[in-house]
Amino acid sequence: MTKLIVITGVSRGLGLAMTEGFIQAGHTVVGCARSEAAVAKLSQQYNSPHDFMVVDVADNQQVKTWAEQVLSRHGVPDLLINNAAIINPLAPLWQIPVEEFDRLIDVNIKGVANVIRHFVPAMKEKNRGIIVNLSSGWGRSTSPEVASYCASKWAIEGLTRSLAQELPSGIAAIPLNPGIIHTDMLEICYGEEAAAYTAIKDWVKQAVPFLLKLSAKDNGMPLTVPV
């Protein structure tokens, strides 16, 4: 059965890998990213029924417009994945410029809330769908010089598990730790040492079937992709 999968942050990293993986598995992907070039490339590479738009998830009005278009064109998603996130350059918390800190909070926390705000009412009306909010190992533990990112991912854990208690029985909200994957974001943290961790191509082989098997019984469960 073909599923409709909505993913934020599809321009690179895990978002791009999931997009390609779900499409290869025969599912329909609707995604967004801030990069016009990346969205244009994806739109050229994957034709209808796949659908990609330029959206800044931190902008509530942009998300509202996007959600209305998605729901009108494609209907309610079977799987809604809040993947879009950023990380600040490594630094003690007090040295992170206020603009950078604010932007991270706007994308990583408010962006997730914006997407939920404009998709979940339609999912509730149909009483179906799985919401996956990507967390992190740093949403369940801490390290120095990533305080802002930790704060955002701990917030996602709490937000998601609280949301799970608010949903009807046919819908699930799941905080998902993807594991430690060699991405551009990981290179910001670990530099050359990032290459020692799981490659995206290996991760996505495990992540796609794992995500497709999630169901309403997983509601509120803090899960981790097995790699």
3-state secondary structure 107-135: HHHHHHHHHHHHHHHHHHHHCCEEEEEEC
> How many Cα atoms within 13 Å fall on the side-chain side of residue 6?
29
Kindly state the tokens that stand for 72. Answer: 């009108």
Given 46, 149, 190, 197, the catalytic residue: 149
Strand intervals (E) in 88-188: 129-134, 171-177, 181-182
Q: Which of 1, 20, 25, 23 is nearest to 10 (CA)?
A: 20
Active site includes 197?
no
99-110: burial string, b at 16+ Cβ within 10 Å, e else? eebeebbbbbbb
Asked if residues 159 and 224 have their Cβ atoms less than 8 Å apart, the reply is no
**Residues labelled catalytic:** 149
